[in-house]
Amino acid sequence: MNTLKIAIQKSGRLSEKSLELLRDCGIKFPDFKSKLKNTADNFPLEILFLRDDDIPKYVENGIVDIGIIGENEVKEQLRDVTLVRRLGFAKCRLSLAIPREQIYNGNGFFNAKKIATSYPNIVRSYFEDRGVKPEIVEISGSVEIAPSIGLADAVADLVSSGSTLMHNGLAEVEEILRSEAVIIANPALTEQTSSILDSFLFRIQAVMNSRENKYILLNAPNVAIPSITKLLPGMKSPTILPLAEAGWSSIHSVVKESAFWEIIDELKKLGAEGILVIRIEKMVF
């Protein structure tokens, strides 16, 4: 039988969220993570657990069909792979940082300076576009200590909270790239494999829709129904059910997580009461 082979980071910042995504897609595996390879019970999927750096290469040469990986790694490695979709987790940025006490005067600062990084290709192309010529020192880990041990004048490193830079006396001065976890695919999948990938992506879309939305129920006086319907259009239009108390209705709809607090204030002003907001498990439009 045909299966879709996926590579996932064995252990690291992408692992847990990648597995959670598979679980939320309803895909079940026996004896998770204790092996290098695993086959799903209820979906034609085989997982390989790999180091993240190796994933683009395995996808390119067809050992696996798809992989979950940081966009930063895809841009650095320049492999022949297709970016299929962004997944909204492991968000970070690749930034340039310099010792805090230095005065920064724009990208020209980096001319003839040594920059330590694990992303030489991305950094080189960033400076080529700006006509600046630094010296790039490639190192594979603990980039942030390079200036303090005299190995470099500056760093280009991944940043999420910014606390690593701060603890090492560095100040972030330019953002080179934004990144998040993505699915990459081999560009020459067979028709059968592509069709399994399509069903997998359909499930992912439903999971991601549900993460971005909440189910909302509230009671409101009937006079407020038209205004509340405008605020809560839902997937098609809200469900409105009469309450036992005359002149009142129960309204059910879906609300974007990002607009949630603003809408709640508006709803209260319109006389809504007993507002319940519930997590959605899956959502198919």
The footprint of ligand PRT (CB under 6 A) covers 9, 12-14, 51-53, 70, 72-73, 90, 92, 157-164, 179
Residue 60: CB minimum distance to ligand PRT, A: 17
Residue showing the smallest CB distance to ligand PRT in the complex: 70
Of the pair 78, 223, the CB lying nearest ligand PRT is at 78
DSSP conformational letter for 31? S
Grouping H, G, I as helix, E, B as strand and the rest as coil, residue 19 is helix
Using the minimum distance from each CB to ligand PRT, give the nearer residue, 9 or 38: 9
Output the smallest distance, CB 23 to Zn ion, in A.
23
90 makes contact, choosing from ligand PRT, Zn ion, none, with CB < 5 to 8 Å by partner type, with: ligand PRT
CA 196 to chain centre: 22
Q: Name the minimum Å distance from CB 94 to ligand PRT.
A: 9
Nearer to ligand PRT by C-beta: 82 or 199? 82
Q: In the complex, what is the shortest distance from the CB of residue 137 to ligand PRT, in angstroms, rounded to a whole number?
A: 16
> Closest CB to ligand PRT among 159 and 232?
159
Minimum distance of Zn ion from residue 162's CB (angstroms): 21
Does position 139 interact with Zn ion (CB under 5 A)? The reply is no
151: helix, strand or coil = coil
Q: Are 92 and 52 in contact (CB under 8 A)?
A: no
162 binds, among Zn ion, ligand PRT, none (CB under 5 to 8 A by kind): ligand PRT
Considering the rule CB under 5 A, would residue 65 count as an interface residue with Zn ion? no
Collapsed DSSP state (helix, strand, coil) of residue 260? helix
Does the protein bind Zn ion through residue 53 (CB under 5 A)? yes
Indicate the residue among 81 and 267 with the shorter CB distance to ligand PRT.
81
Residues 6+ apart with CB under 8 A from 208: 87, 88
CA atoms within 13 A on the CB side of 242: 4
> Is residue 54 involved in binding Zn ion (CB under 5 A)?
no
268 φ/ψ sector (left φ>0, alpha ψ -120 to 50, else beta): alpha
**DSSP for 201-234, written as a single string:** HHHHHHHHHHHHEEEEEEEEEGGGHHHHHHH---
Question: CA 179, CA 196: separation in Å to the nearest integer?
Answer: 26
Neighbours of 70 (CB within 10 A): 23
Q: Based on the shown chain and the rule CB under 5 A, indicate whether residue 10 belongs to the binding site for Zn ion.
A: no
52 binds Zn ion per the rule CB under 5 A: yes
Residue 137: which H helix or E strand, with range? strand 135-138
Which is nearer to ligand PRT, 65 or 157 (by Cβ)? 157
Residue 123's SS3 state is: helix
* Interacting residue ranges for Zn ion, rule: CB under 5 A: 52-53
